Amino acid sequence: MQRMWAPWRIGYIVGDRQADCVFCRKIESDDDEGNHVLLRGEQNVILLNTYPYNSGHLMVVPHEHVGILVDLPIETQVELWKLTELAVRALSEALYPEGFNIGMNIGQAAGAGISDHLHMHIVPRWSGDTNYMTAVAETRVVPQSLDDSFKQLKPIIDRLAEKDTAAS
Ligand SMILES: [Zn+2]
């Protein structure tokens, strides 16, 4: 990753906020397979949620550590949406979901787990997947392991991304 010398960003880069952020750590890391990072765009990444709500629960995360949309450049927002749509196509091809929940929880009050670094959730849904376990124990049975999901989705996402790049 190329870096510009930008002294006013030093506090931002080395600050506790950034060091503590699981998304920043994964974006900085080279271990995409270990971190389940499926695709690196120009301004965003697609990765598997470590604590999935369902099999194939993906997230699109901007490189920038910002908690509110207004702080995110419009080009980044555009790519965030393009990668969200790409994730939907990949999941449709891999897992045949019957529906999707797509969205952001912005701020702790809205239920954001990591409120300092905004992120888009893409959750594939099947009828009947809200099962007894969820209602009773607030626990979900997620049948596919993260490693298996990664191995299944990675080649599909790479192929779709290549096709999109060629078309643009
Ligand atoms: Zn962050």
What residue spans define the domains of the chain? 7-167
Tell which residue, 14, 76, 90, 15, has the closest CA to residue 47: 90
Distance 163 CA to ligand 1 centre (A): 29
16 has a pLDDT exceeding 50: no
Active site residue 119: yes
Query: Mean pLDDT over all residues of the chain?
Result: 85
Q: What is the reported pTM? A: 0.83
Provide the greatest CA pair distance for the chain. Answer: 54
The reported pLDDT for the residue numbered 24 is 94
Distance 23 CA to ligand 1 centre (A): 5
Of 57, 65, 117, 119, the catalytic one is 119
Distance 134 CA to ligand 1 centre (A): 29
**CATH number, domain 7-167:** 3.30.428.10
The pLDDT tens digits of the residues spanning 117-149 come to 999 999 999 888 865 445 455 555 567 889 999
The pLDDT tens digits of the residues spanning 59-97 come to 999 999 999 999 999 999 999 999 999 999 999 999 999
Residue whose tokens read 């701020």: 107
